Amino acid sequence: MAATEAAGKLAYRIYRAVSYGAEAAVNLHLRWRRLRGREHSLRWTERLGLPSLSRPTGPLLWFHAVSLGEGMTAIPIIKECIKQRPDVNVLMTTTTVSAFEVISKRLPSGVIYQFAPLDTPSAVGAFLGYWKPNAIILIESELWPNLIMGASENGIVLALLNARMSSKSFKKFSGPVLLPLISLMLSKFSLIVPLSTMQAIHFQLLQASPYIIKFSGDLKYVVEEFDASEGELRSTQDLRLQLAHRQVWMASSIHRGEEESQFPVICFQY
């Protein structure tokens, strides 16, 4: 175990050095994405860890999800946290513009929304230094070395909810090159909530402590119940009735405009 930890620390030092050296190129790429409309035209600097809002006084919980689906999963949890601890400030971050456009309108009043920092030493350091979260709740598969190690070094509690990874990612992470780094990162978590038994086995095989793995089921199943408005539920029910006797094809997790430019849909009555 000591040898694995030492190998993990060495791997992280290499990752940190490479990500530090790549900061200039990453920043240029971020600007290119902004010009293409893939980053927010006004708030893109938040991805560099630069805040656009003031940090309120008091304890702060940071929820992070990569995109819309994962972000929607976090909303019922955020609502429950506010209900249980109204004295705690909540910060929500995602990485995509599409998630921002939807989630920012659904969050409870008072929740702070920012774009997540890139996983470079400067961006993560600036973000953690400004917001100073007491705990970070990551959704699904957000395992970024600079973020996780930086949080641990600052004494910030880490949790991973609806934890999952694809078979391809598991195979890659369990190899001899990346396993020490992944094992080191997972050792920094206080709680991992996998979305299935198989996912729990994956995390244990990646050397996460079984004592921090707890079960709750797939949290995406509570999104409709707790976060959809009455009108949205009625519209969904009407659509289900209309499509009950048809074969349905669906494109999901697409970017704005792709359904027009890349996915022409022809509907057939069966």
In order, the DSSP letters of 168-185 are HHHHHHTSTTTHHHHHHH
Q: Which of 5, 23, 39, 70 is catalytic?
A: 70
Strand positions, DSSP E, the chain: 60-64, 89-94, 112-115, 135-139, 157-163, 191-194
Q: What is the pLDDT of residue 264?
A: 46
Q: What is the pLDDT of residue 141?
A: 81
Mark 250-266 as b/e (b = at least 16 C-beta within 10 Å).
Answer: eeeeeeeeeeeeeeeee
Mark 128-142 as b/e (b = at least 16 C-beta within 10 Å).
Answer: beebebebbbbbbbb
Quick one: DSSP state of residue 137?
Answer: E
- For residue 133, pLDDT over 60 is answered with yes
Q: Is 70 a catalytic site residue?
A: yes
- For residue 242, pLDDT over 70 is answered with yes
Q: Which amino acid does the sequence have at 268?
A: F
Residue 248: pLDDT band (50, 70, 90) is confident
Identify the CA nearest to 136 among candidates 182, 183, 92, 88: 92
Determine what percent of the chain is predicted with pLDDT higher than 70: 87
- Where is average pLDDT lowest: 4-8, 22-26, 216-220? 216-220
Residues 106, 66, 77, 239, CA torsion sign: positive
Rounded Cα distance between 154 and 131, Å, is 12
Q: What is the pLDDT of residue 116?
A: 96
Identify the CA nearest to 162 among candidates 61, 47, 64: 64
Contact 203, 212 (CB under 8 A): no
Q: What is the pLDDT of residue 268?
A: 42
- Tokens standing for 164? 């999952």
Identify the CA nearest to 113 among candidates 122, 121, 105: 105
| Helix (H/G/I), strand (E/B), else coil: 218 | coil
Instruction: Express each pLDDT in 63-103 by its tens digit.
Output: 999 888 888 989 999 999 999 999 999 999 999 998 899 99
Mean pLDDT of 144-149: 96
Q: How far apart are the first and last CA of the chain?
A: 60
Strands 157-163, 135-139: parallel, antiparallel or unpaired by DSSP?
parallel
Rounded Cα distance between 98 and 250, Å, is 18
Residue 267: pLDDT band (50, 70, 90) is very low
Contact 130, 56 (CB under 8 A): no
- Tokens standing for 140? 């699904």
